[in-house]
């Protein structure tokens, strides 16, 4: 395979059978359309390229900025495509919730504009949805934008009508599957694929999956939000069902651990939703049927999402010398000095003063002669052992004397014989009128 451009590698993804031993359906062959293998990482590469391509020549001529309301895969694909053509990409979002994607966008050189959150006091003049707000902004600017408009652009649907859908039919030897299950974001993929499949077999059952109302599954809409989508037409779907974030993660775990498929949450949700929907049907069947679902993107971008929801999946062995293991009894036994005593101790240059506060706070005002090791870094150092010799007397300083007492207790336990904490912390020091300096 030799290509002139990465965009030539978009599409033609494999259709892979899911092992019956995993899904447990007896009469249904279940296949996954592996959209995660697209070059920029997702199904949305197809839509992004199809929507942007016809406008690029003109945009390059004028130096337009590519803009889209997206906090995920569409933004990612458009940012790459814009970059390939020397254009800037701006992502407008309601809330950029997945940190990895945000960081990737920034790495790609994208600008990210967050729209304001909901007003606490009701403001009757604030009647617009994010999309309308973005339209207003584009209208206010005097041009200079290539807006791909994924929620309304038919080219989004066409990418799948002419690409994803026919590929599935070809790989099933010219037959459409009996069931097609897909998550709904812009509805572009499900609408396009459904239309292509129905050209071959009008009887195809299409199931659209949306997120449970109070759940967040990155990339797709909730049951209410889906009605805001311009491309969404309820008649496309024989059924619209909801999946929870838990379903999505359960499915994701099955795909990544057992199916060699490094799927993101919507791939997992589509798998879980498909098996749930098909299980009831499977029990009644007497002949073989075929079902296809879409794996939209890859797992790597969702580590923080998974860590937040399933911390137990990331369980690591406890680290040694951890502050959390210090008991209250140990803290009570830690040596403390009050402000007057500390002033004397410092004046006589009896040892090292370590200020555990943030660098900014330290730089603004601190005790003369102290060194700054912010607590996070201090904790990190202690995992490795004592960062100073046992014969080096130490005075620890923090805001109110609590953290420093805990660290003093920890250092004592680690075998340091001469460590103490400033009682009441730097706030007591300030309140006593003792000297604070800045350099």
Q: Tally the residues of the chain.
A: 439
The H or E element containing residue 248 is helix 245-258
Tell me the site size for another protein, rule CB under 8 A.
Answer: 50
Stretch that binds another protein, among 44-52, 114-122, 248-256, 386-394 (CB under 8 A): 114-122
CB of 164 to ligand PLP, least distance (A): 9
Within the chain, what is the greatest distance between any pair of CA atoms?
A: 91
Which among 233, 232, 229, 236 is positioned nearest to 207, based on CA atoms? Answer: 236
- Options 7, 38, 71, 74; binder of ligand PLP; rule CB under 6 A: 74
Which among 369, 249, 389, 399 is positioned nearest to 309, based on CA atoms? Answer: 249
Residue 260 neighbours by CB under 8 Å, 6+ apart:
none
**Full DSSP string of 376-413:** HHHHHHHHHS-SS-TTS-EEEE-SSSHHHHHHHHHHHH
Give yes or no for residue 11 binding ligand PLP (CB under 6 A): no
Give yes or no for residue 219 binding ligand PLP (CB under 6 A): yes
Give yes or no for residue 102 binding another protein (CB under 8 A): yes
CB of 45 to ligand PLP, least distance (A): 11
- CA distance readout (Å), 143 to 66, 139, 395: 11, 8, 62
DSSP-based three-state secondary structure for 21:
helix
- Options 8, 19, 100, 128; binder of another protein; rule CB under 8 A: 128
Q: Tell me if 248 sits within 8 A of 310, measured CB to CB.
A: no
Q: Tell me if 422 sits within 8 A of 351, measured CB to CB.
A: no
Give yes or no for residue 117 binding another protein (CB under 8 A): yes
Give yes or no for residue 13 binding ligand PLP (CB under 6 A): no
Give yes or no for residue 33 binding another protein (CB under 8 A): no
C-beta of 144 vs 152, nearer to another protein: 152
- DSSP category for residue 348: T
Give yes or no for residue 311 binding another protein (CB under 8 A): no
Beta-carbon neighbour count of residue 390 at 10 Å?
A: 13
Give yes or no for residue 392 binding another protein (CB under 8 A): no
CB of 435 to another protein, least distance (A): 13
Give yes or no for residue 189 binding ligand PLP (CB under 6 A): yes
CB of 174 to ligand PLP, least distance (A): 24
Give yes or no for residue 41 binding ligand PLP (CB under 6 A): no
Tell me the site size for ligand PLP, rule CB under 6 A.
Answer: 21
List binders of ligand PLP among 77-136 (CB under 6 A): 120-121
Q: Say how far apart CA 314 and CA 305 lie, in whole Å.
A: 12
- Options 69, 196, 220, 334; binder of ligand PLP; rule CB under 6 A: 220
Give yes or no for residue 33 binding ligand PLP (CB under 6 A): no
* Stretch 286-305: interaction string toward ligand PLP, x if CB under 6 A: ----------xx--------
Q: Say how far apart CA 93 and CA 189 lie, in whole Å.
A: 21
Residue 427 interacting entry, from another protein, ligand PLP, none, C-beta within 5 to 8 Å by type: another protein
* Residues 10-28 as b or e (16 or more Cβ within 10 Å = b): bbebebbebeeeebebeeb
C-beta of 213 vs 332, nearer to ligand PLP: 213
List binders of ligand PLP among 234-273 (CB under 6 A): 264, 266
Which among 25, 11, 277 is positioned nearest to 165, based on CA atoms? Answer: 11
Contact residues: another protein, CB under 8 A? 95-96, 102, 106, 111-124, 126-130, 132, 213-214, 223-224, 227-230, 232-233, 357-358, 360-362, 364-365, 374, 376, 399-400, 402, 426-427, 430, 438
């Amino acid at each position: 395979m030799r290509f002139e451009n990465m965009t030539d590698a978009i599409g033609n993804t494999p259709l892979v059978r899911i092992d019956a031993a995993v899904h447990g359906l007896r009469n249904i062959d279940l296949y996954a359309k592996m959209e995660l293998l697209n070059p920029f990482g997702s199904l949305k590469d197809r839509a992004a390229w199809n929507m942007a391509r016809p406008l690029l020549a003109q945009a390059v001529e004028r130096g337009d900025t590519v803009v889209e309301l997206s906090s995920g895969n569409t933004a990612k694909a458009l940012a790459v495509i814009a970059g390939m053509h020397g254009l800037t990409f701006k992502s407008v979002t309601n809330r950029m919730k997945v940190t990895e994607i945000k960081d990737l966008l920034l790495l790609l050189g994208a600008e990210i504009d967050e729209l304001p959150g909901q007003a606490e006091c009701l403001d009757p003049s604030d009647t617009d949805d994010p999309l309308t707000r973005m339209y207003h902004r584009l209208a206010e600017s005097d041009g200079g934008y290539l807006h791909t408009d994924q929620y309304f652009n038919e080219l989004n649907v066409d990418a799948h009508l002419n690409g994803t859908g026919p590929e599935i039919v070809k790989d099933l030897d010219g037959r459409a599957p009996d069931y097609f299950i897909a998550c709904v974001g812009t509805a572009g993929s499900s609408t396009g694929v459904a239309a292509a499949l129905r050209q071959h077999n009008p009887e195809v059952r299409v199931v659209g999956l949306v997120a449970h109302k109070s759940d967040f599954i990155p990339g797709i809409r909730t049951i209410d939000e889906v009605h805001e989508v311009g491309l969404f037409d309820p008649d496309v779907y024989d059924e619209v069902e909801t999946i929870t974030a838990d379903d999505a993660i359960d499915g994701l775990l099955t795909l990544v651990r057992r199916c060699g498929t490094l799927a993101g949450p919507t791939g997992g949700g589509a798998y879980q939703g498909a098996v749930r929907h098909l299980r009831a049907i499977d029990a009644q069947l007497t002949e073989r049927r075929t079902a296809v679902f879409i794996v939209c993107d890859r797992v790597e971008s969702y580590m923080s999402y998974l860590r937040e929801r399933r911390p137990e999946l990331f369980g690591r062995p406890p680290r040694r010398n951890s502050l959390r293991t210090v008991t209250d009894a140990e803290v009570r036994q830690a040596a403390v000095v009050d402000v007057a005593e500390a002033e004397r101790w410092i004046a006589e240059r009896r040892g090292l003063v370590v200020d555990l506060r943030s660098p900014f706070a330290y730089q603004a005002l601190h005790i003369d002669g102290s060194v700054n090791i912010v607590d996070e870094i201090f904790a990190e150092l202690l995992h490795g052992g004592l960062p100073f010799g046992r014969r080096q007397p130490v005075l620890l300083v923090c805001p109110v004397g609590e953290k420093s007492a805990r660290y003093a207790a920890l250092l004592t336990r680690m075998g340091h014989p001469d460590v103490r904490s400033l009682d009441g912390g730097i706030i007591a020091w300030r309140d006593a009128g003792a000297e604070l300096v800045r350099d």
